[in-house]
Amino acid sequence: MTLKEKYGNWALVTGASSGIGEEFAKRLASENLNLILVARRIERLEKLSKELIEKHNIKVVVAPVDLSKKKFMDELKEYAGKREVGFLVNNAGFGYNGEFVEADPDVFRKMIKVNCIASTEIAHYFGAQMAKRKKGAIIFLGSLVGYSPTPFTSVYSATKAFNLFMGEALWYELKKNNVDVLALNPGGTATEFQQVAGTSAGPVARSVKEVVNTAMKKLGKRPSVVDGFYNKVLTVIPRFITRRSTLMIAGYMRKKLYTAKAPSVSS
Ligand SMILES: NC(=O)c1ccc[n+]([C@@H]2O[C@H](COP(=O)([O-])OP(=O)(O)OC[C@H]3O[C@@H](n4cnc5c(N)ncnc54)[C@H](OP(=O)(O)O)[C@@H]3O)[C@@H](O)[C@H]2O)c1
């Protein structure tokens, strides 16, 4: 069965203007799904849309929506219209690096809105339609740092734990409705994420292609997946040591391996 037969004609990808989201858009277009591309940078979305229409002869809706804004869901609904979205990639998100007490709380407010509130509301709106139609797929973007509380990116790590939990819990709830849900958890992946967050992709940076391949392989087969062997090992360690030791390791690794030379807290 093709992806289109299994899930329907339309996919919606948030954060499609770069990195993992852009790669998801390319992958889904190559499977002939029509796309609704969401992000703030319209020129990036338009460029990608043109490329994908030319290459795959699909339909694309460019949806320049800021997911941190109050009325983002109204705007998104308008762009989606009556199109039956059968494949949702809840990917938009950003992180930060630094001391919690020194950061601007507005950045945290925005981070929680984009990473958690938007992913919840979007999944609820399109998930309800999928459940009714008895077919669909939803991917939530968690992270390696969602597996243990991570100092110096505490709020971001908490938002990713949120998405991991959402993906896994909804995998169970929506199974009966034939909707596949997956929490995709990448570790350091070379994208614009590091530039925005002031971090480094760490010692074993993965590519967006590897991350998307991992997701597409595991969707429909399990509730969550960690991308990459090195990252998998890091998520297994907490099962064998105390929570305090996990925290000590997470804090140490964050400073040593994942901190860029010039940390910034912006979005
Ligand atoms: N790269 C990593 O190492 C890594 C590791 C684990 C998890 N992740 C997760 O993977 C997801 C994708 O990140 P990435 O690595 O691909 O980073 P990226 O290249 O920086 O892409 C982030 C995407 O999110 C969009 N976005 C950010 N704020 C937004 C807002 N307010 N409204 C709408 N769209 C917004 C950005 O688009 P605009 O700026 O155009 O709005 C962009 O398309 C994120 O959820 C991230 O937490 C990344």
Locate the domains of the chain by residue range: 7-257
- Give the sign of the dihedral formed by CA 224, CA 228, CA 229, CA 235: negative
Does any ligand 1 atom lie closer than 6 A to the CB of residue 18?
A: yes
230 an active-site residue?
no
Q: Each residue of 113-159: pLDDT tens digit? A: 999 999 999 999 999 999 999 999 999 999 999 999 999 999 999 99
Q: What is the pLDDT of residues 67-111, one digit of tens each?
A: 999 999 999 999 999 999 999 999 999 999 999 999 999 999 999
What single letter denotes the amino acid at residue 31? E
Question: What is the phi-psi region of residue 157: left when phi exceeds 0, alpha when psi lies from -120 to 50, beta otherwise?
Answer: alpha
Ligand 1 binding pocket includes 141 (Cβ within 6 Å):
yes
Residues in contact with 194: Cβ distance below 8 Å, sequence separation at least 6, in sequence order:
188, 200, 201, 260
Which element (helix H / strand E) includes 72? helix 72-80
pLDDT at 256: 81
Burial of 74 (0-12, 13-18, 19+ CB in 10 A): exposed
* pLDDT score recorded for residue 199: 85
Tokens read off for 259: 């901190």
What is the CA(14)–ligand 1 centre distance, in A?
Answer: 8
Whether the CB of 69 sits within 6 Å of ligand 1: no
- Give the pLDDT score at 260: 60
* Block residue for tokens 């597409």: 216
Mean pLDDT for 215-225 is 98
Minimum CA distance residue for ligand 1 atom 25: 15
User: Ligand 1 centroid to 93 CA: how many Å?
Assistant: 4
Neighbour count for residue 84 (Cβ, 10 Å): 15
Judge if the beta carbon of residue 152 lies within 6 A of ligand 1: no
Q: Is 114 near ligand 1, meaning CB less than 6 Å away? A: yes
Q: Which ligand 1 atom is at minimum distance from the Cα of 69? A: 31
pLDDT band at 255 (very low <50, low <70, confident <90, very high): confident
Token readout for 28 is 């889904």
The closest-lying atom of ligand 1 relative to the alpha carbon of residue 20 is: 16
CATH classification for the domain delimited by 7-257, as one of 3.20.20.80, 3.10.310.10, 3.10.180.10, 3.40.50.720: 3.40.50.720
Residue 51 and residue 24 in contact, taking contact as beta carbons nearer than 8 Å? no
In Å, what is the CA distance from 250 to each residue of 63, 85, 216, 256, 258? 37, 38, 28, 10, 10
Tens-place pLDDT, residues 4-58: 999 999 999 999 999 999 999 999 999 999 999 999 999 999 999 999 999 999 9
**Residue from 7, 96, 147, 156 carrying the catalytic annotation:** 156
The pTM score is: 0.96
β pairing state of 179-185 and 224-226: parallel
CA of 91 to the centre of ligand 1 (A): 7
What is the model's pLDDT at position 179? Answer: 98
